[in-house]
């Protein structure tokens, strides 16, 4: 296991300071605020710590309320909404400086047999044939080396490979509003940490990294890497359909059906390498073009 992955696992290992109250810390992000995927993943950890292990998470719905301060801890308070015979529901509020910065509702379900169908996995190249971030990012001579360094540092724990150029790779050229990436943790999970909740939380963490890319592609924008838009996540929803492992390749197929009013919608499907639809993700974000003075 890489040191970067161990650091991410430590980040998700929240400190319990009272019943239903947990504390988490942050790590540096590309922008000077707490990375949204981190807050969502930590909130799901907090919720999951209050649920029996035989009830995996099946969905989450969340709102980003305020920018998080990476310099101070985040306190997560869990409200045990309901414990039913089949489903368990939790609500989590993340607080900094006495104010809520994030709100999450999550549902957990005991295993059941039932009807089964799925959308087919789209075509995608083998991830082994695609460049790593360390190989790809230095190719873009127009990017500030400091930005490249921040990107690489923020993704050390995750092996994330774009099928095509990311928005900042060929900005100024509108493309189809669709993006594909393969991802997995940078190292295998095992031992005491290898539990279903952790894999779900790791996928939640990664799911916020690239989902708004397809919006930028439609307008030829490079995003935060070249400072031609101002963006932030507004809400985030996930449905976990089938078991998966975050340390095995997952295909994240993303598209944007709409952008208007300073907001853009991204939706994605995450498949296992053998074609099982594991997760559906939907997110809306603020996408604003800076005004020219």
- Of 26-30, 49-53, 201-205, 266-270, where does mean pLDDT reach its minimum? 26-30
In a domain, 25, yes or no: yes
Buried b (16+ CB within 10 A) or exposed e, 210-234: bbbbbbbbbbebbbbbbebbebebb
- Contact by Cβ (8 Å): 279, 244: yes
In a domain, 68, yes or no: yes
For 87, 88, 187, 197, the CA distances from 54, given in Å and listed in that order, are 11, 11, 26, 10
In a domain, 47, yes or no: yes
233 is catalytic: yes
Q: From CA 158, how far away is CA 156, in angstroms rounded?
A: 6
Q: Which listed residue (208, 228, 247, 253) is catalytic? A: 208
Q: Which listed residue (38, 154, 233, 267) is catalytic? A: 233
| pLDDT per position as a tens digit, 129-186 | 999 999 998 888 888 888 888 888 888 999 999 999 999 888 888 999 999 999 999 9
In a domain, 126, yes or no: no
50 three-class SS: coil
Q: How many domains in the chain?
A: 1
pLDDT at residue 107 above 90? Answer: yes
96 is catalytic: no
Q: What is the pLDDT of residue 179?
A: 96
In a domain, 123, yes or no: no
Q: Domain limits at 152?
A: 3-110+131-288
In a domain, 7, yes or no: yes
In a domain, 171, yes or no: yes
What contacts 248, CB < 8 A, 6 or more positions away? 184, 272, 273
**What CATH number is given to the structural domain containing 57?**
2.40.160.210
| pLDDT per position as a tens digit, 229-245 | 888 899 999 999 999 99
Q: Are strands 99-109 and 263-272 parallel, antiparallel or unpaired?
A: unpaired
For 95, 102, 241, the CA distances from 64, given in Å and listed in that order, are 11, 5, 24
Burial class of residue 20 in the structure, from the number of CB atoms within 10 Å of its CB (0-12 exposed, 13-18 middle, 19+ buried): middle
Mean pLDDT (whole number) for 218-228: 86
- Contact by Cβ (8 Å): 79, 92: yes
In a domain, 117, yes or no: no
């Amino acid at each position: 296991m890489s040191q970067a992955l161990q650091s991410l696992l430590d980040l998700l290992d929240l400190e319990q300071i009272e019943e239903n109250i947990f504390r988490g810390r942050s790590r540096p992000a590309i922008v000077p605020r707490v990375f949204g995927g981190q807050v969502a993943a930590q909130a799901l950890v907090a919720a999951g710590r209050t649920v029996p292990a035989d009830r995996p998470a099946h969905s989450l719905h969340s709102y980003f309320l305020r920018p998080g301060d990476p310099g101070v801890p985040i306190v997560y308070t869990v409200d045990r909404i309901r414990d039913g015979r089949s489903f368990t529901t939790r609500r989590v509020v993340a607080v900094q400086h006495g104010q809520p910065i994030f709100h999450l509702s999550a549902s957990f379900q005991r295993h059941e047999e039932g009807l089964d169908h799925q959308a087919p996995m789209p075509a995608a190249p083998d991830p082994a044939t695609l460049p790593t971030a360390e190989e790809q990012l230095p190719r873009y001579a127009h990017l500030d080396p400091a930005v490249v360094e921040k990107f690489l540092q923020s993704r050390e724990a995750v092996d994330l490979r774009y099928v095509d150029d990311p928005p900042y790779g060929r900005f100024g050229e509108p493309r189809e509003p669709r993006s594909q990436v393969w991802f997995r943790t940078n190292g295998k999970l095992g031992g005491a940490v290898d539990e279903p909740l952790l894999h779900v939380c790791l996928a939640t963490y990664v799911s916020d990294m690239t989902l708004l890319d397809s919006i930028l592609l439609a307008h030829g924008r490079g995003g935060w890497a070249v400072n031609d838009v101002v963006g932030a996540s507004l809400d985030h929803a996930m449905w976990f359909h089938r078991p998966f492992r975050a340390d095995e390749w997952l295909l994240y197929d993303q598209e944007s059906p709409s952008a208007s009013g300073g907001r853009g919608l991204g939706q994605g499907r995450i498949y296992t390498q053998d074609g099982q639809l594991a997760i559906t993700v939907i997110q809306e974000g603020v996408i604003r073009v800076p005004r020219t003075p």
